[in-house]
Amino acid sequence: MLKISELSAKTGLTAHTLRFYEKHGLIQASTRSESGYRYYNAADIRRVEFVKTARSIGFSLEDINQLLSIRVDKLSHSCQEVTEITRNKLDEVNGKINELQSMQQTLQILLDSCCGGPERAIHCSIMEALDKDLFRNQDNESALQASGRVK
């Protein structure tokens, strides 16, 4: 049976975070001392590790709550439910990656278009591009190319 500071040391999560997770229904100390101190048994600890692992993969606390309710009653739940949660998360991640890759492309095009030197910014291609609103239709590359700014 671990006290909260011991569990904190073991898991790398702060005591604050452990209490925060408890408040949100993710974890629990199955025993409390008379004075109210939390004591975590082996099963409690495994649950905390589960949460930590799921968090590190990127699951939200809400996702994890769903995964935990499957975990405590696996007979009543199917692999399909688990993969659905995972698939949704993957879709979300893929969506974010796409957004970021679009930004990445635009930023790279901007960088390629500018000399980046100590010249005065009066004809800076990046500033011009931002001013000319060349990014209206996700058509950044062709717009910038049309503007003659890309090597």
Partner DNA sequence: GTTGACCTTAGACCTAGCTCTAAGGTTACA
Partner DNA sequence: TGTAACCTTAGAGCTAGGTCTAAGGTCAAC
Q: Are 136 and 121 in contact (CB under 8 A)?
A: no
Distance CA 1, CA 40 (A): 5
Among 1, 15, 85, 114, binds DNA (CB under 7 A): 15
**How many residues make contact with a copy of itself (CB under 8 A)?**
56
Among 10, 25, 30, 33, binds DNA (CB under 7 A): 33
The strand pair at 38-39 and 31-32 is best described as antiparallel
Nearest to 129 by CA among 115, 140, 116, 118: 140
Residue ranges in 44-103 that form contacts with a copy of itself under rule CB under 8 A: 46, 49-50, 52-54, 56-58, 67, 70-71, 74-83, 86-87, 89-90, 93-94, 96-97, 100-101, 103
Among 55, 71, 77, 89, binds DNA (CB under 7 A): 55
Question: 3-class SS at 28?
Answer: coil
What residues line the site for DNA (CB under 7 A)? 3-6, 14-17, 19-20, 29, 33-38, 55, 60-62
